[in-house]
Amino acid sequence: MSTAIRLLLDLFFTFFKIGGTTFGGGYAMIPMMQGILTEKGWVTINEVIDMIAISEMTPGPFAVNMATFTGMKAAGIPGAVFATLGVIMPSMLIIAAIAAFFNNVKDSPAAKGVLKGIHPATVGLIATAVISIGRGAFFPGGLAAGPHLFSLLLAALVFLAIQKGGLNPIVAIALSGVAGILVYVF
């Protein structure tokens, strides 16, 4: 098998695994994505964070955006297509199976039990993602170089504005970008 085809298959199956094991959608994908994709060397933690921002500002599911970006960076347009197909395939297959055979799955006590365990665990997993992306955002020079005080302050302000003032995510990202330019360029 040529290395190009092997890379495409690797992208497909990696995203297939992510799509097939992430419950809750959206941000629930972050812990899976950042761990697996940075280990593979396809993206950096900062690129994951940037993709979260880009996903908030563009239409469509985060999972598809992240798959497209990773595939594109690793192997161009074919990579984007294979990664995206991989991430959407498990839901498609499972829904097709449910529609054909188990239409009563939503009343199944076993399925409900499994989800009762998975849903709170997802919250714990996303909390771990906050730590990894925090490390990327606040320690741009590595942990030894110490935290970036301006970034910490900005994050605290945005957090307060979201919690107290209900700040919209798109506005939050735009304002953070402007603050970054004002502080780091001028």
Partner 1 sequence: MQTPDQAQQPRSHPPRLRLLYELFTTTFVIGALTFGGGYAMIPLIDDAFVNKKGWITEEEMLDIIAISQMVPGPLAISSSTFVGIKVAGFWGGLVSAVGVALPSLLIICVLSTFYLEFKENRYVSAALQGIRAGVVALVLSAVLKLGKKTVKRRFDWAMAGLAFALVIWLDLHPVAVILIAGLTGWLVARREAKTS
Binds partner 1 by CB under 8 A, chosen from 99, 143, 144, 145: 99
149 binds partner 1 (CB under 8 A): no
CA dist., res. 116 & res. 21, Å (int): 15
Of residues 5, 40, 96, 146, which one binds partner 1 by CB under 8 A?
A: 96
Which residues within the stretch 65-84 sit at the binding site for partner 1 (CB under 8 A)?
65, 68-69, 72-73, 77, 80-81, 84
- Least distance (Å) between residue 14 CB and partner 1: 11
Kindly write down the DSSP assignment for every residue of 88-144, as one continuous string: HHHHHHHHHHHHHT-TTGGG-HHHHHHHHHHHHHHHHHHHHHHHHHHHHHH-TT-GG
Min separation Cβ 178 and partner 1, Å: 7
Is 50 a binding residue for partner 1 by CB under 8 A? The answer is yes
CB of 37 to partner 1, least distance (A): 12
The answer to whether 56 contacts partner 1 (rule: CB under 8 A) is: yes
Tell me the chain's radius of gyration from C-alpha atoms. 19
Gap between the Cα atoms of 13 and 86, Å rounded: 6
With a CB cutoff of 8 Å and minimum separation 6, the contacts of 180 are 154
Q: Is 7 in the site for partner 1 (CB under 8 A)?
A: no
Binding mask 16-45 for partner 1 (x = CB under 8 A): -x-xxxxxxxxx-xxxx--x----------
Distance CA(64)–CA(51), nearest Å, equals: 11
- Whichever of 1 and 110 has its CB closer to partner 1, that residue is 110
